[in-house]
Amino acid sequence: MALAPPLRAPGSRPAGGNALNRLLLHPAAKPLLFVLCLLPFAWLLYGAVADQLGANPAEHLLRATGDWALRFLCIVLAVTPLRVMAHLTALARWRRMLGLFAYFYVVVHLLCYAWFDMGFDLPAIVADIPKRPFILVGFAAFVLLTLLAATSFNRAIKALGGKRWQRLHQLVYVCIGLGLLHFFWIRAGKNNFGEVGIYAVVIALLLGWRVWHAVAARRRSATR
């Protein structure tokens, strides 16, 4: 799941242009990234088995998986700015894996809700989703991310066509907005907005950079 269309900067250096790019292109880089992305899940699984998640393990798992889902969405959005500003073109090959891991943590978060809160009672889950706004927006983000995950592979890109595929995957911006709103409503019940503010600033910077970059590119093309 690429989750965002690539943005190219004029004068971007080739992937092998510096030592860091060569390091990112090393055959061991992707397997290492895969292991690193799994570490939060492995740590939570160990904590659950070893009974080290506090007095309310179910609530801890529900919150932690949601936090990691939002963090991975932020990481995905950070790939393009880092790639362009630091000339790390090799980062583009990591976007799909990072996007799929974001979806993985969203799925685990949803399963935690379905299990711990609802006991896998499907009729109760269906009835609960429209009742509570924060669950409704979270489920909407899950549906959209499912669509992006399902069309993240090369065969889907060929079937849709490059431009149509890129427009579809711009829905990631909607998803991260819904994820932030979901998080805001959860914390609003306890009047705790500190972490929400941090995520909001990070997301605003990542999206603001994209707007600035697009405007700057149009101005450059207009002056040619």
Q: Report domain extents, the chain.
A: 19-222
In the predicted model, what is the mean pLDDT of the chain?
Answer: 89
How far apart, in whole angstroms, are the C-alpha atoms of residue 82 and residue 20?
12
Instruction: Look up the pTM and report it.
Output: 0.89
Q: Which residue has the higher pLDDT, 219 or 209?
A: 209
How far apart, in whole angstroms, are the C-alpha atoms of residue 41 and residue 64?
9
pLDDT category, 2, cuts 50, 70, 90? Answer: low
**Distances from the Cα of 224 to the Cαs of 8, 119, 215, in angstroms?**
17, 62, 15
Q: What is the pLDDT of residue 1?
A: 58
| Token pair listed for 121 | 């009672």
Q: Which of 55-59, 85-89, 100-104, 194-198 comes out lowest in average pLDDT? A: 85-89
Q: What is the pLDDT of residue 57?
A: 93
36 phi/psi in degrees, rounded to 5: -60, -40
Q: What is the pLDDT of residue 217?
A: 84
Give yes or no for a contact between 125 and 135, defined as CB atoms under 8 angstroms apart: no
Q: What is the pLDDT of residue 222?
A: 79
Q: What is the pLDDT of residue 16?
A: 42
Alpha-carbon 32 to chain mean position: 19
How far apart, in whole angstroms, are the C-alpha atoms of residue 171 and residue 164?
12
Percentages of the chain per state (helix, strand, coil), in multiples of 5: 75, 0, 25
Q: Which residue has the higher pLDDT, 16 or 195?
A: 195
How far apart, in whole angstroms, are the C-alpha atoms of residue 3 and residue 169?
5
How far apart, in whole angstroms, are the C-alpha atoms of residue 220 and residue 224?
7
How far apart, in whole angstroms, are the C-alpha atoms of residue 83 and residue 77?
11
pLDDT > 50? residue 78: yes
Give yes or no for a contact between 61 and 53, defined as CB atoms under 8 angstroms apart: yes
pLDDT digits (tens, 9 = 90+) for 107-147: 999 999 999 999 999 999 999 999 999 999 999 999 999 99
pLDDT digits (tens, 9 = 90+) for 53-67: 999 999 999 999 999
Using alpha carbons only, give the angle 59, 61, 63 rounded to the nearest 5 degrees.
70
Query: Considering only CA atoms, which of 75, 68, 66, 82 is closest in space to residue 7?
Result: 82
Instruction: Specify the 3-state DSSP secondary structure of 26.
Output: coil
| Token pair listed for 106 | 């969203």
How far apart, in whole angstroms, are the C-alpha atoms of residue 223 and residue 183?
43
Q: What is the pLDDT of residue 136?
A: 96
